[in-house]
Amino acid sequence: MGQNLILNAADHGFTVVAFNRTVAKVDHFLENEAKGKSIVGAKSIKEFVSKLKKPRRMMLLVMAGKPVDDFIELLLTEGGVEKGDIIIDGGNSHYPDSNRRTKYLAEKGIRFVGSGVSGGEEGARYGPSIMPGGNEEAWPYIKDVLQSISAKSDGEPCCQWVGDEGAGHYVKMVHNGIEYGDMQLICEAYDIMKRGLGLSGKEMGDVFAQWNKGVLDSFLIEITRDILYFNDDDGTPLVEKILDSAGQKGTGKWTAINALDLGQPVTLIGEAVFARCLSALKSERTRAAGLLEGPKPNFTGNKQEFLDNLEQALYASKIISYAQGFMLMQSAAKEYGWTLHKPEIALMWRGGCIIRSVFLKDITKAYRSNPDLENLLFDDFFNKAIHKAQPGWRDIVSKGALWGIPTPAFSTALSFFDGYRTKDLPANLLQAQRDYFGAHTFRIKPEFANEKYSEAGNHHVNWTGRGGNVSASTYTA
């Protein structure tokens, strides 16, 4: 990925210095892919720094965690970086690390940028989505490079300044969490088509090919089509031979944990992470398959109508996933004192990245029309879209339950929607239970407030006559 970003920058007229601790890799790169381009090599950290113009713009693409800190220390101790120089971490770092590095380097006069980069190796070569944040003093010096090498959507660069400290890596984290959700939703649609309708790989590929011409037009739908069309040497779909145990590198988990920390109901990403965890229990699931029984799918009806419903269920669930993601970022901005520009974030995700889709143009438009939009579901376009999708969405979730096909992402998206649109949830009973067993108190509904139960007060009741009248302290963890 680092080599491809270097080649990308050289293609856009920049002279780039390349360094790797394994010097042989640099030599091989210069003699092959970089030959004839405006790329020079360095055999040491000191030489690397010395060849750069001031203020030096240095981008690290190394494994997240300690390797980033180690490389920064090398630049400080052996490289001879000076006040005003700029260090960019383009890896998948956790945003608290970027918060810390921004402050640490600012004390030394070094401007640090933590930048999310999405799009894989191909994106890095021909235009990724780039999400920079950190010390904003660096932005005027790196804007030309990063926006030049980024993907473009309708002529606009998929790279804008995100915010302070770890904001860039935070937005990349949420991007990856949404990516988890999108992939899980697609997998559930595939499972329903395969087990519920009995479609072949070619038939399912045809469905995804058709979906890619409509509202679901996206990179992930496109590659799913290609995967389902791909046959092994024996003429059968390779995907059916792949072990059903999913891996993960942590960014989805980080998103789910942060959602819990901020008290935000980002349920779909959470279920997508748990679905991967469940898939990893392959041997245990194999034993359970011989012991636990459930219903068998038995489809009757109009197949095309069902597939249309499945398309709507996937579309509606994606709307929920993105609505939850932007709710989380909105909460984070308030909690961490960041200014996150939602229209620019949607724009950055429109091209180059893994979740790029036509769908994001509508999100960009929604937030540009109303930057203070409280929730994506309040926008007219998405409000109409999700109401149109409801009948098909509910049909798919109910069919999954009746057929014994798990749909954790579809189901949690619908449950969130139903919960979000409900004025009175059963949390009143929950609060009564908490007060009953732990004297945790409750608030009264405004319409029932009186002298005994004031609207603003936290109240405790001795429910049994034996519990006492002293309440516990009130707080939200």
Q: What is the pLDDT of residues 17-33, one digit of tens each?
A: 999 989 999 999 999 99
pLDDT, residue 294, reads 95
**Residue 169 assigned ligand-binding role:** no
What tokens appear for 178 in the block? Answer: 């949404």
Task: Give residue 351's pLDDT.
Answer: 82
343 upstream amide cis, omega within 30 of 0: no
175 is in an annotated binding site: yes
**H helix and E strand count, the chain:** 19, 9
Q: Look at residue 469 and tell me whether its pLDDT is greater than 90.
A: no
The C-alpha atoms of residue 132 and residue 166 are separated, in whole angstroms, by 9
* Residue ranges of domains in the chain, CATH in brackets: 1-161 (3.40.50.720), 172-421 (1.10.1040.10), 425-476 (1.20.5.320)
337 marked ligand binding residue: no
Residues 185 and 177: their CA atoms lie apart, in Å, by 13
- What's residue 387's pLDDT? 97
φ and ψ of 324, to 5 deg:
-65, -40
* pLDDT attached to residue 477: 63
CA 101 to chain centre: 23
Tell whether the model's pLDDT for residue 474 goes beyond 80: no
pLDDT surpassing 90 at residue 145: yes
Phi-psi region of 177 (alpha: psi -120 to 50; beta: other; left: phi over 0): alpha
Query: 434: annotated binding-site residue?
Result: yes
pLDDT at 476: 67
Q: What is the pLDDT of residue 324?
A: 97
Q: Looking at residues 114-123, what average pLDDT do you find?
A: 89
Answer for the pair 263, 176: CB distance below 8 angstroms, yes or no: no
95 labelled as ligand-binding?
no
pLDDT beyond 90 at 356: no
Residue 121 has pLDDT above 90, yes or no: no
CB-based burial label for 280 (10 Å; 0-12, 13-18, 19+): middle
Q: What integer is the mean pLDDT of 317-339? A: 95
In this prediction, what percent of the chain has a pLDDT beyond 90?
85
What's residue 84's pLDDT? 95
Rounded to an integer, the average pLDDT of 393-414 is 98
pLDDT of 439 > 80? The answer is: yes
pLDDT of residue 352: 79
Q: Is 475 annotated as a binding residue?
A: no
Q: Scan for tokens 């932007």, then name that residue.
A: 326
Residues with a catalytic annotation lie at: 172, 179
Query: Annotation-wise, does 276 bind a ligand?
Result: yes
In tens, the pLDDT along 234-293 reads 999 999 999 999 887 778 899 999 999 999 999 999 999 999 999 999 999 999 999 999
Per-residue CA distances from 324 to 57, 316, 327, 344 (Å): 35, 12, 5, 17
Model confidence band, residue 141 (pLDDT cutoffs 50, 70, 90): very high
Is 392 annotated as belonging to a binding site?
no
For residues 368-392, give the mean pLDDT. Answer: 95
Write the DSSP symbol of residue 443: P
pLDDT digits (tens, 9 = 90+) for 36-46: 999 999 999 99
Q: Is residue 335 pLDDT above 80, yes or no?
A: yes
Q: What value, to the nearest 5°, has the Cα angle with vertex 364 and ends 362 and 369?
A: 95
